[in-house]
Amino acid sequence: MFLNIGYSNEWWYANHGFSFEEELYQDPLRKLAVQHHMDGLLREKFAKWDFLGHLEDTSVLSRPSVDIEPFGHRFIPAMFDVPVCYAKDQAPWASTIRLDDDFIMSLEPLTPEAFANDPRVCEIVRQHTLLKTKGHTCSTQQNLGSVMNSAIYMRGMDLFYDFNDRPELVHKLFDLITNAMLLSYDYFSEIDGCRAPLGVGNCSVAMLSPKIYREFCYPYDLRIMEHAKKCNVSFAVHQDSCIDAFIPVYKNAFDSLLSFDIGGDSNVRLFREAFPNLMINVFIYTSVLRTLTAGQLYDLILRLAEEGQPYSQIGFSVYDIDPQVGDEKIESICDAYALLKAKE
């Protein structure tokens, strides 16, 4: 069992005055110093729970991470010239654009040479070199998201019409995105000298029907899984939404799936029945943190853990905690986790 806790940039700015404007993401040494300051504050905040000392199964995550991510989690859209925006109290986000139909159809997949020479890639390598020169361990691997997540930033709401009206365009765009994802993974693995686990962040798949996912997204998710197998690394799927309607689609879809992230409003018992051997990571939404009382959150964690047994194969992620969420609510989640951990 594990517990991950992460506060939003808005929380950090409101409570401690940390600012997250673009300059921070361009200065890795300053970003690392901010990270260490944040971690120190969180260690103190959660000191009463001794389980936080066991980092193999519990982590308190601050933002931004030590990983080099000058474009936040929007690296792939940025590679297609989607503007990335910054604010003092927000994580970097991408502005939605609409790439022209003919332009998409005319694009060729990135070559390794073009990728390596792209200024956005060069910026990541620059930061990596600087940190390594100063003796810091770091990773150049980017959060690659998924084909669907990235495509929304490149086509906007038109994408949902494209599934019916321009299926060939969707497949062309998804192929280009998948190629960029795998190219990125391989290139940065070479820079780092090791291969990290691979996965897909299907946050936006819940906006589709299972049928549309199966026809348009699954072939590219499968390509990424096959690449993970080729590289001998684990593969995971992240869909932080209600998973119930997609259980029949995902079941038997991947033959080397290690773990799965699901939303806290999912039928965890049903998911466990379909995937008896998977590690399940249940996401507790910020909206739930705002709505439920501390006591209700305590009961929710206990119930979800019971539904997802065995305890050793389930965990919880409580991310993007904002200033509207009181400390007593997070403390109740930690109390519930401590009780469950003692039973494991």
Q: What is the pLDDT of residues 120-177, one digit of tens each?
A: 999 999 999 999 999 988 899 999 999 999 999 999 999 999 999 999 999 999 999 9
Question: φ and ψ at 235, to 5 degrees?
Answer: -130, 140
C-alpha–C-alpha distance, residues 271 and 245, integer Å: 10
Q: Is the pLDDT of residue 58 over 80?
A: no
Q: List, for residues 197-256, the tens digit of each pLDDT value.
A: 999 999 999 999 999 999 999 999 999 999 999 999 999 999 999 999 999 999 999 999
Q: In a 3-state reduction of DSSP, which class is residue 232? A: coil
Q: What is the pTM of this model?
A: 0.94
CB 305 within 8 A of CB 298: no
Q: Name the pLDDT band for 54 (thresholds 50, 70, 90).
A: low
Q: Locate the DSSP E strands across the chain.
A: 2-7, 58-61, 84-87, 90-94, 198-201, 235-239, 257-263, 279-283, 314-321
Question: Above 60 in pLDDT, residue 64?
Answer: no
- Measuring CA to CA, which residue among 103, 151, 82, 94 is closest to residue 160? 151
Residue 53 pLDDT > 70, yes or no?
Answer: no
CATH number at residue 141: 3.20.20.210
DSSP secondary structure code for residue 204 in this structure = G
Average of pLDDT values for 187-192? 96
pLDDT at 317 over 90: yes
First to last CA, the chain: 7
- Find the domain containing 178 and state its range: 2-343
Helix (H) or strand (E) holding 37: helix 28-45
**CA–CA dist 322, 15 (Å, integer):** 10
Query: Could you give the number of structural domains in the chain?
Result: 1
Sheet holding 314-321, edge to edge: 58-61, 2-7, 314-321, 279-283, 257-263, 235-239, 198-201
Q: DSSP string spanning 252-316?
A: TT-SSEEEEEEETTS-HHHHHHH-TTSEEEEE--HHHHHHS-HHHHHHHHHHHHHHT-SGGGEEE
